[in-house]
């Protein structure tokens, strides 16, 4: 062992010297230098160790990195990092990033294990809320608790939980909201039912109360920052995890006679009957009937979701299906859905889930349990010393002005005495006295001394964490790198918005010129030009078809319908490419062809007349504007980066760059 230690001691200087080049300058942009280590840390994090498909070699990534740093340098030269909007956003991000550094590993481990156990189950629960401020005086807290107990007693004695929730809950969702014309639609009350949730979906005290309540029981009042909750667990079922599902959706709108609940329900069941038992025609049925336009062309596929992210009626169905199966129509507040389950990704093993849970725990309010341990660590690491005698002597001078919410320092107090210190930073009696003056809340149920000691503990904790926070970048290089990324990213977004994105939108002349130069890049495929009509009752199909046979324009057809006092029939000119519409794909693509297409699930009929088969042609400026704008933004950005390169003249240390390349071979 001694020989090994001697050998290591001899090798260490050589090892350190061998790595010294990483601290040398790789890039110089104006007056700013960037070391090889800074570049390599970012390169490895975002390219080498990440899951991106299009990984870059060192040269390509360096070019991107330099362009990025040029923009950051420009933003700093423009003093964008001194703007109030930037400072507020940056400080918000930094605060979030700093949270993991204020948790204790041992306590965190216990919380991680607890969260994993809860993750195995989905709860469907209802609650009644009795509001009570987190900082309420004891008398108010007691009154709220007694009120909650009385409400619970009514339920235990047999009253319906939902009825009591509507009458007594301070959660407005229990009662619902009436329609306000032009502002909000009517929202049906949930009678206290919060739907499905799992770990991390609710505030921690509520989550704990729910998971500790057996299915069908009514809990004792549970305290959270919102007040007291009476909880009943409606069901506790194995966790779905992440669900992937598709649906056929039909809207219910009682203001539209054709979308009344009874008619939509009938139509939904007729559609359900058209789906083959093996589901092989699912995609075609979705394209033909679903009113969710965002998913209709993709087999009704929804973005993957968790149980807390979608209405409980939908989850009830999902839990009854196996992958590949589809349901009968189910009603939600939005309309009718035919649900097809694609897959569920359940909870992984503890080892698979541990790191993700830990990140959630460190950012969650449950992390407060580790504050005391964290304070001890910080105090030990940062040379904390407290002068207890000074503290006690000062608090002895505090009178009732503190508990009355209008603190005045007593005469003769030496405000310069030191209460505690971290390394060389001192915190005096005066600092604490100024803190006390900010506490204007009256506390008639506490003695001045008790209140002062409580506030001292809060002050000590706040200053301990503040001291640690101010030194995080010095103590933790990874934190410094991450904060720098956010700092630069916010600057870049604001600058790109100013110099590229908005500039492109406003430069209508430049956009049109770009379109004229590149219009051959924005082409339509073969398209069918049609007159497309829909008769929702099928009572006037022959009349509409006869009008179309006369080669009338859309406007003329509409005028004829109006003259005949026929309403509710939509007529329009419409273009289709292959794949846009199932009915059009089945229509003969020959000018003059007229086709009526009766619906098999309701009383409507479509009438289609083929006007023209249009060969590939450039899209108009209006049709291609979105694509043109994106391409023009890229051009503006490239031109701008070239200007920045001329302005800042970035220099690359080729010798150091070669060392970086060799290190990745």
pLDDT in tens, 102-153: 877 778 888 999 999 999 999 999 999 999 876 555 577 899 999 999 999 9
Q: Which of 289, 321, 345 is the last residue of a domain?
A: 345
Please report whether residue 297 resides in a domain: yes
- Coil, helix or strand at residue 236: strand
272 and 251 assigned to the same domain:
yes
230 and 247 assigned to the same domain:
no
202 and 253 assigned to the same domain:
no
At 578-625, the pLDDT tens digits run 989 999 999 999 999 999 999 989 999 999 999 999 999 999 999 999
Name, in order, each residue with C-beta under 8 angstroms of 320's C-beta and a sequence gap of 6 or more.
327
Q: Say what the pLDDT of residue 561 is.
A: 95
Judging by beta carbons within 10 Å of its beta carbon (0-12, 13-18, 19+), is residue 70 exposed, middle or buried?
A: buried
At 29-60, the pLDDT tens digits run 988 899 999 899 888 887 766 555 566 788 99
145 and 60 assigned to the same domain:
no
234 and 248 assigned to the same domain:
no
Strand runs (DSSP E) across 466-569, as ranges?
527-535
Q: Cα separation of 633 and 496, whole Å? A: 10
Question: Whole-model pTM?
Answer: 0.53
234 and 137 assigned to the same domain:
yes
* Residue ranges making up the domain that contains 573: 524-614
224 and 279 assigned to the same domain:
no
Estimate to the nearest angstrom the gap between the alpha carbon of 7 and the chain centroid.
53
pLDDT at 81 over 50: yes
Q: Say what the pLDDT of residue 102 is.
A: 82
538 and 452 assigned to the same domain:
no
Which CATH number fits the domain that encloses residue 156? 3.10.50.40
Q: Nearest to residue 432, comparing CAs of 445, 420, 441, 449?
A: 420
Which single residue is written with the structure tokens 């990534």? 61
CB atoms within 10 A of CB 223: 17
Query: DSSP of 286-345, one letter per residue?
Result: HHHH---TTTGGGTTBPPPB-GGGS-HHHHHHHTTPPTT-BPPPEE-SSEEEEEEEEEEE
- Can you name the residues that pair with 535 across neighbouring β-strands? 605
């Amino acid at each position: 062992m001694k020989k090994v230690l001697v050998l290591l001691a001899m090798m260490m200087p050589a090892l350190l010297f061998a790595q010294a080049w990483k601290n040398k300058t790789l890039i110089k942009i104006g007056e700013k230098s960037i070391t090889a280590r800074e570049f390599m840390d970012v390169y490895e994090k975002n390219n080498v160790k990440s899951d991106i498909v299009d990984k870059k070699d060192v040269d390509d990534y360096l070019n991107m990195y330099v362009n990025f740093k040029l923009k950051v340098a420009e933003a700093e030269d423009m003093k964008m990092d001194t703007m109030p909007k930037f400072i507020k956003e940056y400080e918000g991000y930094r605060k979030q990033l700093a949270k993991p550094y204020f948790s204790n590993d041992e306590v965190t481990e216990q919380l991680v294990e607890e969260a994993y156990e809860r993750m195995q189950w989905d709860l469907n629960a209802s609650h009644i809320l009795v509001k009570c401020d987190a900082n309420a005086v004891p008398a108010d807290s007691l009154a709220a608790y007694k009120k909650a107990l009385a409400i619970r007693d009514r339920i235990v004695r047999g009253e319906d939980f939902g009825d009591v929730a509507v009458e007594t809950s301070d959660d407005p969702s229990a009662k619902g909201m009436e329609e306000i014309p032009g502002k909000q639609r009517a929202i049906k009350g949930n009678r206290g039912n919060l739907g499905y949730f799992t770990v991390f979906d609710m505030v921690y005290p509520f989550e704990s109360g729910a998971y500790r309540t057996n299915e069908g029981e009514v809990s004792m009042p549970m305290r959270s920052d919102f007040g007291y909750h009476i909880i009943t667990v409606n069901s506790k079922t194995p966790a779905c995890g992440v669900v992937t599902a598709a649906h056929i959706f039909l809207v219910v709108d009682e203001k539209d006679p054709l979308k009344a609940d009874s008619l939509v329900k009938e139509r939904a069941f007729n559609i359900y009957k058209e789906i083959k038992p093996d589901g092989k025609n699912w995609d075609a049925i979705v394209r033909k009937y679903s009113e969710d336009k965002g998913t209709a062309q993709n087999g009704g596929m929804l973005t993957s979701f968790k149980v807390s992210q979608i209405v409980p009626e939908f989850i009830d169905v999902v839990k009854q299906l196996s992958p590949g199966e589809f349901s009968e129509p189910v009603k939600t507040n939005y309309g009718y859905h035919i649900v097809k389950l694609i897959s569920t990704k359940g909870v992984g093993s503890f080892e698979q889930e541990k790191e993700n849970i830990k990140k959630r725990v460190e950012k969650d309010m449950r992390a407060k349990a580790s504050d005391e341990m964290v304070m001890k660590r910080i105090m030990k690491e940062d040379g904390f010393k407290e002068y207890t005698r000074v503290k006690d002597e000062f608090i002895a001078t505090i009178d009732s002005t503190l508990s009355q919410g209008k603190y005045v320092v007593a005469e003769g107090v030496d405000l310069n005495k030191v209460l505690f210190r971290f390394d060389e930073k001192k915190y005096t009696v005066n600092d604490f006295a100024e803190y006390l003056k900010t506490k204007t809340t009256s506390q008639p149920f506490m003695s001045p001394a008790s209140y002062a000691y409580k506030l001292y503990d809060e002050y000590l904790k706040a200053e301990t964490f503040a001291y640690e926070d101010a030194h995080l970048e010095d103590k933790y290089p990874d934190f410094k790198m991450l904060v720098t990324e956010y700092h630069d990213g916010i600057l870049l977004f604001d600058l790109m918005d100013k110099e590229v994105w908005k500039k492109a939108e406003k430069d209508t002349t430049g956009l049109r010129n770009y379109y004229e130069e590149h219009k051959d890049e924005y082409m339509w495929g073969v398209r069918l030009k049609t007159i497309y009509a829909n008769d929702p009752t099928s009572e006037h199909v022959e009349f509409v078809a006869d009008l179309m046979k006369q080669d009338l324009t859309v406007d003329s057809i509409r005028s004829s319908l109006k003259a005949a006092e026929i309403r509710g029939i939509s007529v329009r000119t419409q273009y289709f490419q292959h794949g846009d519409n199932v009915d059009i794909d089945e229509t003969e693509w020959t000018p003059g062809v007229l086709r009526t297409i009766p619906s098999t699930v309701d009383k409507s009929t479509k009438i289609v007349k083929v006007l023209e088969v249009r060969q590939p042609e450039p899209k108009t400026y209006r049709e291609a504007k979105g694509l043109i704008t994106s391409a023009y933004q890229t051009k503006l950005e490239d031109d701008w980066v070239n200007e920045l390169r001329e302005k800042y003249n970035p220099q690359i240390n080729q010798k150091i760059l070669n060392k970086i390349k060799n290190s990745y071979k």
